[in-house]
Amino acid sequence: MIKFLKTMRNKTQEEIIQKIQDLKKKRKAVILAHNYQIPEVQDIADFTGDSLELSKKAHNTEAKVIVFCGVSFMAETASVLSPDKKVIIPDNRAGCTLADMITVDKLKALKSKHPDAVVISYVNTTAEVKAESDICCTSSNSVQVVNSIPKNKEIIFVPDKNLCKFTHDQTGRKLICWQGWCSTPHINISAEDIKKSKQDHPDAKVMVHPECNPEVVNLADEVVSTSGMLRFAKESKADEFIIGTEIGILHSLKKANPEKKFYPANDKAICPTMKLITLKKVHRALKDLIYVVKVEESIREKAKKAIDRMLAL
């Protein structure tokens, strides 16, 4: 009976995948999936990667429709860079608690206290917040972005306090850090998790995301973005790795490095909104073209300037 049910599930999944492929051709669409998505969504995607990588892919593709399997700020960024394309998100509840921690009103209030400060906003922010910023950054280039700012300028850094602390430690620059954080998954990873994982796998290299707490960062061999983890795992001579970020990336890591072993620092490091997107929802989004993400032009133009300044580096 169990074998029969499993066979039926596999057959149903294959049917959905075929329908998605057919609709993708019909809509002239491209499917983008963040590294934190569930495995089957990553596997159906034309491109996987981090949020900015995917938005750049979206901009460069000839597709008319972009199905963004990620969270809302990612789809907004794709819309900012590709206003001529229809950007849809398969589940409009897929938000980001970190992005929600800084609003336009809160940022304006902080800017009023530091009127001469340069505002750096992490890409994990809404388009409206990006529009109130001078330049954006990612977890992989925050150090480079900060170092590009004249030393006599104050810097406001929003919204992640841990990425801000990491960037401060790497640059030595005084930063006005907004006290936001990734409530899931990175807050769930503790120093004890890393120590326990090292006991279980003493030869493994430890890779953690800079959104992790400082005590976790201090125990890592490499502090890198999700794309950085994929590069490091590929280039490293090590055979085993402990991963301190959302567990979805383990699928990408294993797929790219089948001969190597990867262990989650904490198997409960799960972003619930990333996991909202399923194959059925991707199919529905393509079929009905629902949950279109469109950024108002006045906001889009300002947000794009902040992104373009980062890309120019």
Are the beta carbons of 121 and 130 closer than 8 angstroms? Answer: yes
CA gap 204, 222 in Å, rounded:
12
Cα-trace Rg, the chain: 20
Predicted pLDDT of residue 183 = 85
pTM over 0.85: yes
pLDDT the model gives residue 4: 42
CA distances from 231 to 133, 256, 257 (A): 30, 10, 11
pLDDT of residue 55: 84
> pLDDT at position 59, please?
86
The third-level CATH classification (topology) of the domain covering 98-181 is Rossmann fold (3.40.50)
How is domain 186-264 classified at the CATH fold level? Rossmann fold (3.40.50)
Give CA–CA dist 298/70, Å, rounded. 24
Q: In angstroms, rounded to a whole number, what is the distance separating the alpha carbons of residues 8 and 11?
A: 5
The per-residue pLDDT for 9 is: 59
Backbone phi and psi for residue 200, each to the nearest 5 degrees, phi listed first: -75, -30
Q: How far, in Å, CA of 80 to CA of 128, rounded?
A: 11
CATH topology of domain 2-95+274-294: Rossmann fold (3.40.50)
Domain ranges in the chain are 2-95+274-294, 98-181, 186-264
Residue 168 DSSP label: H
pLDDT (tens digit, 0 to 9) for every residue of the chain, 313 residues total? 445 444 545 768 999 999 999 999 999 999 999 999 999 999 999 999 998 889 888 889 899 999 999 999 999 999 999 999 999 999 999 999 999 999 999 999 999 999 999 999 999 999 999 999 999 999 999 999 999 999 999 999 999 999 999 999 999 999 999 999 998 899 999 999 999 999 999 999 999 999 999 999 999 999 999 999 999 999 999 999 999 999 999 999 999 999 999 999 999 999 999 999 999 999 999 999 999 999 999 999 999 999 999 999 8
Same fold yes or no, 2-95+274-294 and 98-181: yes
Q: Where are the alpha helices (DSSP H) in 184-278?
A: 191-200, 214-217, 226-235, 249-256
SS (H, E, C) 45-58: CCEEECHHHHHHHH
Cis bond upstream, residue 272 (ω within 30): no
- How much is the pLDDT for 7? 52
